[in-house]
């Protein structure tokens, strides 16, 4: 909670040269004790003891068991231990903002720190225009201009700009949807703290890091200080074991979980995903899992980093990182177990992500359109999954099917990557043969409605099956529109029949 945390801070955290432990020592006691013990009788030098990168929280010398999330927050707050409920000032590794909340964040930063103030670290702020890009809305365009001016003025290292709206490919810097771009550009790293002015920032928990969404005011504060006051969340653990059936995707798993614990079931809590099924998931699928923890009210989601994570990160980042893992005896608020091999494809019916139903139970729901896109459902593998269904059926879609790749890289994959088992076809060829709309320019698109001229926005009260993450009233544009959230398999199957359809009809 903001207030209590403020009340418990020291006075000096804003001034960079006074940060930390110089004036007050209590926090450093446990750390020093550990170091002394480690160095024991051997060291007799009068020089300052060597600085070790290994903090006590990552060594075996700490007796208090912690969860992954607790460990990350302990390290980020320079403590040996934290407990759920505690408010701590954490050092932020990366702050992300975009065109919707960036201008407001910048406004707060300037108002509070001064017109000429400098950001705390030009290399740790990542600014990604992605929400309202391909629109003639003047204010939306102006907001991207505000970002550009600020990034120029502050010499922000990572700004993924777009100037030529007529052809996104003429903008080599432009990426697209921030959460997917963060991962693809190497800004997501195990053990780190990533804050972003977007609730789906929790997506990055797939990398075994703490990532959560914050508002403009908090982001303005981070921009000036590199710090944020966070309450340590308790952790809910989700153990998913069993072989993933060929007709299921991570979207089915998270919709299953949200249906189980409701849209407020994880409020203020961390969600940790473990088990053999999770270990078998690709990074993109892990992102799908973590992306929607906020739909259960969760503060963050985490998947422990492993060889899949390291492989994905190869060549993407040169920053050193240090993963952390939950201790065996860590305390979890609750543990949920799933035998994934027994699950079936699910959807979330209007107008709530926890309004779960089996896809086959909704086979009589007639639909008007299908949307495949967004941070949670517009990644390369999401389109590969849809293509697999179209390929298996060999038929044409019966309703308009809109495809919005999350990023420029995803778009290129659709045109350049061969779909396994297709005899050399690309996704784009398969989509064309199936009668889908041509893949659009990468952005958040109609996932959240946006300006009236947004591609595929629901301007009329239609029924849509969508691979996005929210189906609140009006989410995709029209208040009376009905959105069924589903996996790319289910979305593609539904496109082929014109009804909500279990993908097993095509994938058996």
Partner 1 sequence: MAAMAAASASVSVSNNPSFPSSQKRSPLLSSSQSFIRNLRMPTTHLIKSPLKHFSLSSSSTSPLIPLCATTDTTTTTTAATAFHGVCYVLGDNIDTDQIIPAEYLTLVPSKPDEYRKLGSFALIGLPSEIYPTKFIDSGELTSKFSIIIAGDNFGCGSSREHAPVALGAAGVKAVVAESYARIFFRNSVATGEVYPLESEGRLCEECSTGDVITIELADNLLINHTTGKEYKLKPIGDAGPVIEAGGIFAYARKTGMIPTLASSSA
x-or-dash string of contact with partner 1, 448-477, rule CB under 8 A = xxxxx-----------------x-xxxx-x
Min dist CB 1 to partner 1, Å, is 6
Tracing tokens 């963050």 back to the chain, one arrives at 300
Beta carbon nearer to partner 1, 70 or 381: 70
Residues 120-139 within binding reach of partner 1 (CB under 8 A): 131-132, 137, 139
> Quick one: 121 exposed, middle or buried, by C-beta within 10 A (0-12, 13-18, 19+)?
middle
Min dist CB 326 to partner 1, Å, is 17
Q: Which of 257, 252, 321 is nearest to 485 (CA)?
A: 252
Beta carbon nearer to partner 1, 97 or 497: 97
Residue 74: both structure tokens together: 């302990």
Beta carbon nearer to partner 1, 197 or 309: 197
- Identify whether the C-beta of residue 240 lies closer than 8 Å to the C-beta of residue 277: yes
Order of strands, edge to edge, in the sheet holding 125-128?
158-159, 125-128, 94-98, 193-196, 210-213
DSSP state of 292: G
Q: Which of 93, 292, 294 is nearest to 210 (CA)?
A: 93
What does DSSP say about strands 346-348 and 356-358: parallel, antiparallel, or unpaired? antiparallel
Min dist CB 101 to partner 1, Å, is 7
Judged by CB under 8 A, which stretch of 8-16, 178-186, 427-435, 495-503 contacts partner 1?
8-16
Beta carbon nearer to partner 1, 356 or 409: 356
Instruction: Give yes or no for residue 116 binding partner 1 (CB under 8 A).
Output: yes
Residues 210-229 within binding reach of partner 1 (CB under 8 A): 213-218, 220-221, 224
User: Concatenated DSSP letters for 185-209?
Assistant: TT---TT-EEEESSGGGGGGGGGSS
Judged by CB under 8 A, which stretch of 49-57, 185-193, 241-249, 446-454 contacts partner 1?
446-454
Beta carbon nearer to partner 1, 263 or 346: 263
Q: Which of 441, 431, 482 is nearest to 175 (CA)?
A: 441
Order of strands, edge to edge, in the sheet holding 270-274?
300-302, 270-274, 235-241, 334-339
N- to C-terminal Cα distance for the chain? 50
Residues 229-258 within binding reach of partner 1 (CB under 8 A): 231, 233-234
What does DSSP say about strands 94-98 and 193-196: parallel, antiparallel, or unpaired? parallel
Beta carbon nearer to partner 1, 89 or 210: 89
x-or-dash string of contact with partner 1, 400-439, rule CB under 8 A = ----------------------------------------
Judged by CB under 8 A, which stretch of 3-11, 177-185, 279-287, 378-386 contacts partner 1?
3-11
Beta carbon nearer to partner 1, 142 or 311: 142
Q: Which of 65, 110, 242, 327 binds partner 1 (CB under 8 A)?
A: 110
Instruction: Give yes or no for residue 101 binding partner 1 (CB under 8 A).
Output: yes
Instruction: Give yes or no for residue 108 binding partner 1 (CB under 8 A).
Output: yes
- Identify whether the C-beta of residue 75 lies closer than 8 Å to the C-beta of residue 57: yes
Cα gap 92→189, rounded to integer Å: 13
CA torsion sign for 455, 407, 444, 278 is: positive
Residues 291-350 within binding reach of partner 1 (CB under 8 A): 294, 297, 299, 331, 333
Judged by CB under 8 A, which stretch of 44-52, 100-108, 239-247, 395-403 contacts partner 1?
100-108
Looking from the CA of 239 toward its CB, the CA atoms found within 13 Å total 5
Min dist CB 480 to partner 1, Å, is 7
Q: Give me the torsion for CA of 189, 194, 198, 201, rounded to 10°.
A: 40
Beta carbon nearer to partner 1, 96 or 414: 96
Instruction: Give yes or no for residue 367 binding partner 1 (CB under 8 A).
Output: no
Beta carbon nearer to partner 1, 336 or 472: 472
Burial 189-199 (b: 16+ CB within 10 A, else e): bbbbbbbbbbb
Instruction: Give yes or no for residue 63 binding partner 1 (CB under 8 A).
Output: no
Tracing tokens 């004036």 back to the chain, one arrives at 23
x-or-dash string of contact with partner 1, 27-56, rule CB under 8 A = x-----------------------------
Beta carbon nearer to partner 1, 221 or 247: 221
Beta carbon nearer to partner 1, 153 or 418: 153
DSSP state of 158: E
Q: Which of 198, 284, 413, 437 binds partner 1 (CB under 8 A)?
A: 198
Judged by CB under 8 A, which stretch of 112-120, 279-287, 370-378, 499-507 contacts partner 1?
112-120
Cα gap 154→124, rounded to integer Å: 12
Beta carbon nearer to partner 1, 472 or 499: 472
3-state secondary structure at position 231: strand
Angle at 15 between CA 14 and CA 20, to 5 degrees: 80
Q: Which of 122, 264, 416, 460 binds partner 1 (CB under 8 A)?
A: 264
Residues 64-93 within binding reach of partner 1 (CB under 8 A): 77-79, 83-89
- Identify whether the C-beta of residue 361 lies closer than 8 Å to the C-beta of residue 391: no
Min dist CB 478 to partner 1, Å, is 10
Number of CB atoms found within 10 A of residue 15's CB: 9
Beta carbon nearer to partner 1, 118 or 316: 118
Instruction: Give yes or no for residue 24 binding partner 1 (CB under 8 A).
Output: yes
């Amino acid at each position: 909670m903001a207030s209590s945390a403020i009340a418990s801070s020291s006075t000096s955290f804003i001034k960079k040269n006074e940060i930390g432990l110089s004036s007050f020592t209590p926090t450093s006691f446990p750390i020093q004790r550990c170091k002394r013990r480690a160095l024991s009788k051997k060291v007799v030098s009068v020089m300052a003891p060597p600085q070790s990168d290994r903090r006590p929280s990552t060594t075996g010398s700490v007796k208090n068991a912690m969860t992954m999330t607790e460990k990350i927050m302990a390290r980020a707050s320079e403590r040996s231990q934290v407990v759920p409920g505690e408010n701590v000032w954490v050092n932020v590794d990366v702050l992300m903002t975009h065109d919707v909340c960036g201008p407001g964040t910048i406004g707060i930063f300037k108002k509070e720190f001064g017109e000429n103030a400098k950001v705390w670290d030009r290399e740790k702020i990542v600014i990604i225009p992605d929400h309202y890009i391909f629109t003639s809305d003047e204010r939306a365009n102006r907001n991207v201009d505000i970002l550009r001016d600020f990034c120029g003025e502050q010499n922000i290292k990572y700004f993924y700009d777009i100037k030529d709206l007529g052809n996104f490919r003429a903008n080599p810097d432009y990426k697209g949807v921030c959460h997917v771009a963060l991962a693809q550009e190497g800004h997501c790293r195990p053990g780190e703290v990533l804050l972003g002015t977007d609730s789906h920032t929790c997506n990055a928990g797939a990398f075994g890091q703490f990532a959560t969404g914050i508002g403009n005011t908090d982001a303005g504060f981070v921009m000036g200080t590199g710090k944020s006051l966070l309450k340590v969340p308790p952790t809910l653990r989700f153990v998913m074991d069993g072989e993933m059936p060929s007709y299921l995707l991570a979207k089915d798993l998270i919709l299953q979980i949200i249906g189980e614990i409701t849209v407020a079931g994880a409020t203020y809590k961390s969600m940790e995903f473990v088990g053999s099924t999770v270990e078998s998931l690709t990074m993109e699928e892990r992102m799908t899992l973590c992306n929607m923890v906020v739909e259960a009210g969760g503060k963050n989601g985490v998947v422990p980093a492993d060889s899949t994570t390291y492989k994905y990160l190869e060549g993407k980042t040169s920053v050193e990182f240090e993963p952390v893992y939950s201790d065996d005896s860590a305390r979890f608020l609750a543990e949920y177990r799933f035998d994934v091999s027994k699950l079936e494809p699910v959807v979330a019916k209007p107008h709530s992500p926890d309004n779960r139903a089996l896809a086959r139970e909704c086979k009589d729901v007639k639909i008007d359109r299908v949307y495949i896109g967004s941070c949670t459902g517009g990644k390369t593998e999401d389109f590969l999954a849809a293509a697999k269904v179209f390929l298996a059926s060999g038929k044409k879609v019966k309703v308009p099917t809109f495809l919005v790749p999350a990023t420029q890289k995803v778009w290129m994959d659709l045109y350049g990557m061969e779909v396994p088992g297709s005899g050399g076809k690309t996704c784009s060829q398969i989509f064309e043969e199936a009668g889908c709309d041509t893949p659009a320019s990468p952005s958040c698109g109609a996932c959240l409605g946006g300006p009236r001229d947004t591609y595929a926005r629901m301007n009329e009260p239609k029924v849509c099956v969508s691979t996005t993450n929210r189906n609140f009233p009006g989410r995709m544009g029209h208040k009376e529109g009905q959105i069924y959230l589903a996996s790319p398999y289910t979305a593609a199957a539904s496109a082929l029949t014109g009804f909500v359809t279990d993908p097993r009809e095509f994938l058996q």
